[in-house]
Amino acid sequence: MINPHGSLTLNPLFVIDAEERAALEESAKQLPSVLLSSAGAANAVMLGAGYFNPLTGYMNKADALSVAENMHTQSGLFWPTPVLCLVDSAVQFETDSTIALRDPNVQGNPIIAVMELEAIETLTNTEMETISQQVYATNDSDHPGVAEFNSQGQTLLSGPIKILNFSYFEKDFGDTFRTAAQIRETIEENGWDKVVAFQTRNPMHLAHEELCRIAMERIGADGCVIHMLLGKLKSGDIPADVRDASIRKMVELYFPPNSVMITGYGFDMLYAGPREAVLHAVFRQNMGATHFIIGRDHAGVGDYYGAFDAQTIFDTDVPSDALEIEIFRADHTAYSKKLNKVVMMREAPNHEKDDFVLLSGTKVREMLGNGIAPPAEFSRPEVAEILMNYYQSLEKSEQP
């Protein structure tokens, strides 16, 4: 099996031993504590689940700036985005102490982790702008990732942590949330050698389904892991439970048995385009995938990134020996009326735009809200039904 990033074995930071975990939970109640941002809690979940291997905790200021500038920590580890614990204030803490980290996303704000506090540092306005510009390629406050980053505070807490739970993800998405270690175990149990991973924060329409199938065939993959983001999204994105139901229905009806794993991970979307695409590749290597599909405008939002910047960054900024996982580069995929099948558009010569079935997201949402299923060349009817029910329920809830 492919090695995890930066080490020969996966080292998740979740405290596996139940007795040790219970003891830590009890002792942590007596510790000074801080309420994390949602992003900080999501980082804790990812550290605990092994997706951030081989990190041992939140980054300090020097590592954060180094990663933002050149995608390497001070020690030389390749890493694409800073992993931070930012808070408004830390006057109640002292360095070289142990503190408790509280979860903002669960009622009662339970302790999600304990941290050995090695440093308390402040990011200046200029340093915040530098990180934002390098990671998101903009300082525009209208960018949802930039806005979220700037809302967290400028006091940076760093040090190794021990994770006590996986926030709301295990409870709310018990059939879907999986740690990197759990996915590796299942891949091994399935006897899969070549494994392609597909990232999604949206429901999967026919083009996405066929893209997974195309990648599997060309790579000669034994299986595909559909790996959906389960954390916070921007306003207007479809909730995780609706996406989960639609993807499960698609796989159940249209893929051979035991060829696809449906999984999810507990992280808040960054919308960081190319940098986030590289981070996604790290996640997938850590969970055991050998190949990762990156398509048009991967992890993008608005017009902040070029259509294929998330692919070219692997040529321009990622050293050839930085990652073991291989990238499957996909074009925009759509149904060809001429060929009567879904194709990658760059591979369809003698085609004009009108030769493809292309629907904007706005048009699709409008159709679904009106109870109109998109054409079968765009979306499976069973998937469309789930999404129609969701959009129509929204409209009913908005009625006076």
Q: Kindly report the CA angle at 178 between 173 and 184, in degrees rounded to 5?
A: 160
C-beta separation of 45 from 166 below 8 A: yes
| Element spanning 216, H or E | helix 206-219
Q: Residue 236: what pLDDT?
A: 74
Q: 207, 218, 223, 205: which is closest to 259 by C-alpha?
A: 223
Place of tokens 């699709």: 364
Q: Please list, in sequence order, all residues whose beta carbon lies within 8 angstroms of the beta carbon of residue 294, skipping any fewer than 6 positions away.
A: 277, 280, 281, 310, 311, 314, 327, 328, 329, 330
Rounded CA gap, 37 and 340, in Å? Answer: 48
Concatenated DSSP letters of 21-74: HHHHHHHHTTS-EEEPPHHHHHHHHHHHHTTTTT--EE--HHHHHHHHHHSB-T
Sign of the Cα torsion 135, 35, 200, 354 reads: negative
Q: Strands, E, within the chain: which ranges?
A: 33-35, 57-58, 86-87, 97-102, 111-117, 119-122, 155-163, 195-200, 223-229, 260-265, 291-294, 326-329, 333-336, 341-344, 356-357
Active site residues: 201-202
SS3 16: coil
C-beta separation of 64 from 130 below 8 A: no
Rounded CA gap, 302 and 165, in Å? Answer: 34
For the CA atoms of 154, 159, 160, 166, the dihedral, rounded to the nearest 10 degrees, stands at -20
Sign of the Cα torsion 315, 297, 243, 269 reads: positive
Query: What is the bridge-based pairing of β-strands 223-229 and 195-200?
Result: parallel
C-beta separation of 123 from 57 below 8 A: no
Place of tokens 């983001």: 229
Amino acid letter, residue 91: V
Please list the helix, strand and coil fractions of the chain in percent, rounded to the nearest 5, in that order.
40, 20, 45
Q: Residue 397: what pLDDT?
A: 63
Q: 89, 117, 262: which is closest to 175 by C-alpha?
A: 262
For the CA atoms of 371, 374, 375, 377, the dihedral, rounded to the nearest 10 degrees, stands at -150
Q: Residue 58: what pLDDT?
A: 98
Mean pLDDT by groups of 10 residues along the chain of 400 residues: 97 97 97 97 98 98 98 98 96 94 97 98 98 98 96 97 97 95 97 97 92 97 96 82 94 95 96 98 98 95 95 97 97 93 93 92 86 93 93 71
**Beta bridge mates, 310:** none
Rounded CA gap, 326 and 307, in Å? Answer: 20
- Domains along the sequence of the chain with CATH: 18-170 (3.10.400.10), 175-398 (3.40.50.620)
Q: Is 232 left (phi over 0), alpha (psi -120 to 50) or beta?
A: beta
Q: 54, 112, 49: which is closest to 85 by C-alpha?
A: 112
Rounded CA gap, 79 and 70, in Å? Answer: 9
DSSP type of residue 78: B
Q: What pTM did the predictor assign?
A: 0.94
